[in-house]
Each structure stands twice: as structure tokens, then as C-alpha cells.
Chain A
Amino acid sequence: MNILRYLGRRLLFTVFLLIGVSLMVYIISYMVPSDPVVANLSARNIDNEEMVQAYREKWGLDEPFYKQYLTYLNNLLHGDLGTSLRTERAVLDDLKLYFPATLELSIFGILFAVVFGMLFGVISAIKRNKAVDQILRGVSVVGVSVPVFWMALLLLYLLYLKWGIFPGPGRLSAYLTPPAHVTGLYTVDAILAGDWAVFWDALQHLCLPGICVGLFTMGLISRTTRSSLLEVLSLDYIRTARAKGVKEKAVIVKHALGNSLISVLTVIGLGFGNLLGGMVLAESVFGWPGIGQYAYKSAQNLDFPAIVGVSLLIALNYVVINMVVDILYCVLDPRVRYR
């Protein structure tokens, strides 16, 4: 019962957060000195008084702030996120179009980060202060220090242009047709369609951007895994387990790892925000047609309906991820109870 009440409260918080985020972007859009008219109309049309007026009227740019915002909220309740000034399509349709690409990339990035981060962290903890530990710790510090965009360029230059190990930018090689749209995730859709050539190609395309996007989180996870595993290993019950003759491998996998997972989980939740930030950069280098690029282009064009849409989507993601993390806490640690 407790968890239901917790979820209810969390949901309420989500609604407030979403209203807050949309209001925040709206306030920014209202305060900015620059004019979306200038950003979106061509130079010739700007001199044309009628065109400018028509444009302002069309997008309701002359209405007072609160009216614009209330109209927006009302539309939002009816599932209408407005129309993008730049693409002239419904923002919701745009998001539906671009989100699967980002989702696929972020799932891949998170998987990469969790698998390698935990692996490195565990090895580091076992081989504490040995050479392996120092090297792996070095790798994870580089992971959190390296600029994503530069890493992306470097990987593309070496692994694609020079050595040809991985395919170049984009989600799929040009000679292949994307699989029939079911989930929008190319790899999943390809499996559903039974098209293994497309699956393999899409998976290869995911590798480089996935690594770039996940590197920062990998570094965080690896550090946290190491320190929390070391902490757990120094506890009494581990000494007991060792004393009664449990093999070291079993001590770590069965006794220690589960308990150190809790702090790792927190980092995964936190890392997700960073993942989305890195997404903007990685997507622009890899020509990945996702939300990150959409957000960047919208921001450049001061396309506020689109920006609010993206912001809401991202905030929602963030909340959902943290909620999943919180629920997993409960599963991992029976002592945690939500009120």
C-alpha cells in the first residue's frame, strides 16, 4: 500500500514539475530580447510589414503573456503541444518522430555505461591499489573528463575514416531501408521483421555514438561501484562469510555486490541527466536524427513551442527514470520503505 501512496505523491510532483518546466521556458521566451519573427522569417520578409504582422498573428505572438501560457496549458491538457515554428508540424508529431532514435541511443549508452562501469568498478575493488586498479580508475576519470563532442570526432576519425572498423554517421547505412515502423527503435523493429542484415547494421551504427553518450556515466558508475563495494567488503558480515570458508568469488558476487548496488543505482539515475546532455553533442556530431538535434535546432531558431515540448519530454523522462530507480531501491533493500 505504501508504495502506491508514494507513487501517487510522485505523480503529483511530476505534474507540478511539468507545469514548472513549461512555465520556466515560457518566462524565458517572454523575457528574451530577441524576436522569433527575426529568427524564422527570411530577410526579405522581415521588411514586409504585412508578412510580419501575419506571422505574429498566426502564432499569437501579440497576446499577453498569461493568455499565451493559459492557452498553451489548455491545449496541453488536450494532448496538443502546439505547432513548431520551424518545421511547421505539430510538436507532438515531431517528438514522436525523433524520440525513438534518442531512446534507442540512450538505452544503448546506459547499457554500455552500466555493464562496463560495474565491471571496471568490481575489478578495481578486488585488485585494490594494484596496477589494474590504477589503470581502470584512470579510464573512469578520463571518462568523466573527456569532452563528448571531441571524443565523438576522435572515434569517427580513427574507427570510421582511418581504419573503417565502424560505419559512419547516421542510424543506418544508405543502401538499407529502415525496418517497418513498430517501436521506432531500428534494432527492435529489425528483429520483429526478421531482417538480420538491418539489425546488424543498425547495431554497428549504435556503437560509436553509444560509447560517447555513455562514457561519462560509465566513469561515474565505475567509481561508485568501486568505493561502495570496498565499503561493503569491510563490513562484519563479509568477514563472517570469509571466516566460514566461502570462496572469494562467491563472497563478492553473492554477498557484497547486491548490497553495493544501492548506491550504484543512485548514480545511474543521476547519470541519466548527463546522458541526455551529452546526447545533444553526440547527436550533432553523428548526424543522429534524435531529440538532441531537434532541441539544438529549435533553440537556435527560438522555436519556443518546440523547446517547451522537448523540455517537457526530458523532464518527464527524468522523473520516470528516478521513479524506476526509487522502486528498484525498494526491491534491492527491503529496509527502504516509502511513506
Chain B
Amino acid sequence: MKKIKYSLRSSSFVRMLRTNPLFAIGVAICAAWLVVMVFADLIAPCDPLLQDMAVRLQPPSAQHWFGTDSLGRDIFSRVLVGSRISIGAGIQCILIAAVVGMLIGGLSGYVGGILDDIIMRIGELFTSFPSIILAMVIASAMGASLFNTLLTMCIVWWPNYARVMRAMVIQVKSNEYVEASRSLGASRLRIFFKEILPNSIGSIIVLATVDFGNAILLFASLSYMGLGSPPPAPEWGAMVSNGAEQFSYWWVATFPGLAILSVSLGANFIGDGVRDYLDPKLRKTIS
């Protein structure tokens, strides 16, 4: 049974690739970055941390494709290796926020009542607030580090997932198979993990896809404001901020910025494709 489902999915993926060029471009961009992330050390021509004051602030050349920064480091290598932190942070944030949001939202929708009200109001509190300012407060209060920034992002991100999950759970839990499972004597935990979770996870995955570009952007923004890993680490947002100080040397800020743009663009293309694909279906279920 599961296999059929899977093959159906993969065939629709291929169809989307064929019919939606933007989706295909998005997949290509993201796949390329994934390869870069894995093999960054092998591809990078120079050590991203190696400083050489003799070649500081050199414009792009055959030797340094993206030029060098104020400490003479090769920007091309830094952009490649930096993908690990910058994209990795986005992935981790989405994963953690999705899991946390799913559990909290699931609990909220499954249990209902006062607990549901309280959790949803708390979530609203977080969402009625620009995430970057909240993130700034938390991150600067706890000190700037990659871990703290990630934690912060998750704190501001989970309510989205909680809300969607809650709505799904409320919808799923009234289904007859859940009732059947209950009457067979399944425990609440078992019902939650065996029946409700697998049937509501789809919309969470869609949300995560659509959301990924935003997570990359938020992380880049925080790291631009100086709230990422401490300085020597190559990190796109921080590199752009470094370029802002060397304003007339355009290449220092341009290339890491292009890297951020390409990833979030690719992610948004994929997200749009997924949404377009699901849209007619959603409309059908509504009407």
C-alpha cells in the first residue's frame, strides 16, 4: 500500500518538473547548493579562513573568482563553505520548528479545551510581533552564537506549524477510523502517533517547503545584524555586513548576497510549485 503511494508521489514530482519550469529551476538551484554543501571542502580553491593581507580587497580575478575581503580571504571559498552554516541553519530551524510546532499544535488540537486556548493565544503573541525584533532581543540577551540564534529562530517559528497542525488534528480526529481505533482500545498516545500524526503530516511538509526561503532570509538577517556565529566563521549574512563596511569594494557584499538570494529564490520557486500543484485539490475539498 505504501509503495503505491510513494510511486504516485514521485511521478507527480516528475510531472511538476516537466510542466513547471520555475519549479524545475528551483529544484536545480537547491540541488546544486546541496552538492556544494556536502563537497564544499573539496570544491573550495582556498582555505576560507586563510588571511593574506598582501591581497586584501582584490577585485574578482582568475585567481580569486569573487575577489578577496578586507583580510585577504578568498570570498569564493568563503561563500562555498559558508553554505554549510547559512543553509544548514535554515534547514535545522525548519526541522526543529516543524517538530516542536507539530507536537504542541497536535497536543493543542487533540486535547482541546482550556489548554488549546492557552497554547493558541501564546502562539498568537509570538506571531503578532515581527520575528526579527523578537529574535534580536532573545539573541542579544543570551549572547550571539549560532546555537542561540537557531534557538531564537525556532522560538519565533513554531507557532506557524502549531496552528496548521492543530487545524489538521481537529479535522482528522473526527474521522471514523480514529473512532474505530479508540473503540478497539488503543491508548490516546497510540491514536495520536499511529492515526492522527501520519494523516496530518502532509500539510506540515507543504508549509515547511513554502517556508524554507523565509527561514534562510531570517537567519541571514540575524547574522547580518551580528547575531550568528562569531566572526571568523564564513556566514553569508555576516559577510554582507562585512562588505557594508567596505562599501566601495562592491564584490565583498555582492557575492554572499547573491548566494542568499539564489537559495531563497530556489526555495520559493519550489514552494510556489508545490502550492500551485496542491491548489486545485485544496479548492476541491473546500467546495
Contacts and interface: CB of A to CB of B under 8 A. Distances in A.
Contact of B264 (A147, A161, A274): A147
A145 B128 contact: no
Given A141-B268, A150-B253, 5 more contacts: A17-B124, A280-B225, A299-B140, A311-B137, A318-B129
Interface string A241-274: 0000000000000000000000000000000011
Contacts of A28: 137-138, 141
B197 to A, nearest CB: 28
A281 B132 contact: yes
Contacts of B128: 17, 21, 273, 315, 318-319
A24 to B, nearest CB: 6
B34 to A, nearest CB: 18
Nearest to B240: A150
A25 B265 CA distance: 34
Contact of A147 (B217, B268, B269, B272): B217
Interface of A: 16-17, 20-21, 24-25, 28-29, 32-34, 137-138, 141-142, 144-150, 153-154, 156-157, 161, 273-274, 276-277, 279-281, 284-285, 295-296, 299-300, 302, 307, 310-311, 314-315, 318-319
B254 A154 contact: yes
A50 B131 CA distance: 38
Contact of B130 (A144, A146, A314): A314
A104 B248 CA distance: 29
A147 B136 contact: no
27 contacts: A17-B125, A28-B137, A32-B142, A137-B22, A138-B22, A141-B22, A141-B272, A144-B268, A145-B217, A145-B265, A147-B220, A147-B264, A149-B224, A149-B241, A150-B253, A153-B244, A157-B247, A273-B127, A273-B129, A276-B130, A277-B130, A280-B225, A296-B225, A299-B137, A299-B140, A299-B141, A310-B133
A147 B260 contact: yes
Contacts of A318: 128-129
Contacts of A273: 127-130
A310 B134 CA distance: 11
B97 to A, nearest CB: 17
Contacts of B143: 33-34
A281 B247 contact: no
B221 A147 contact: yes
B105 interface: no
Given A285-B244, A300-B140, A277 B264 contact: no
B39 to A, nearest CB: 25
B217 A21 contact: no
Contacts of A161: 247-248
Nearest to B254: A154
Contacts, number: 127
Nearest to B21: A134
A324 to B, nearest CB: 15
A96 B171 CA distance: 47
B237 interface: yes
B247 A21 contact: no
Contacts of A32: 141-142
Contacts of A279: 130
B101 interface: no
Given A149-B221, A315-B129, A307 B137 contact: yes
Contacts of B254: 154
Interface string B108-131: 000000000000010011011111
A310 to B, nearest CB: 7
B28 interface: no
Nearest 9 Cβ contacts at the A-B interface? A150-B257, A32-B141, A277-B130, A145-B264, A277-B132, A299-B136, A145-B265, A276-B130, A299-B140
A257 to B, nearest CB: 21
Nearest to A322: B128
B221 A281 contact: yes
B277 interface: no
A95 to B, nearest CB: 14
Contact of B141 (A34, A150, A153, A296): A34
A196 B104 CA distance: 56
A277 B224 CA distance: 14
Nearest to B144: A300
Contacts of B267: 145
A28 B135 CA distance: 11
Contact of A284 (B138, B225, B240, B250): B225
Interface in B187-227: 213, 217, 220-221, 224-225
Contacts of B140: 299-300, 302
Given A154-B257, A277-B131, A295-B133, A141 B141 contact: no
**A144, A277, A300: most-surrounded residue (chain B CB, <10 A):** A277
Contacts of B217: 145, 147
Contacts of A157: 247, 250
A57 to B, nearest CB: 22
Nearest to A137: B22
B243 interface: yes
A277 B127 CA distance: 12
B261 interface: yes
Given A17-B125, A34-B142, A147-B261, A311 B133 contact: yes
A280 B132 contact: yes
Contacts of A154: 253-254, 257
A148 B269 contact: no
**A16, A296, A315: most-surrounded residue (chain B CB, <10 A):** A296
Contacts of A150: 240, 253, 257, 260-261
B224 A147 contact: yes
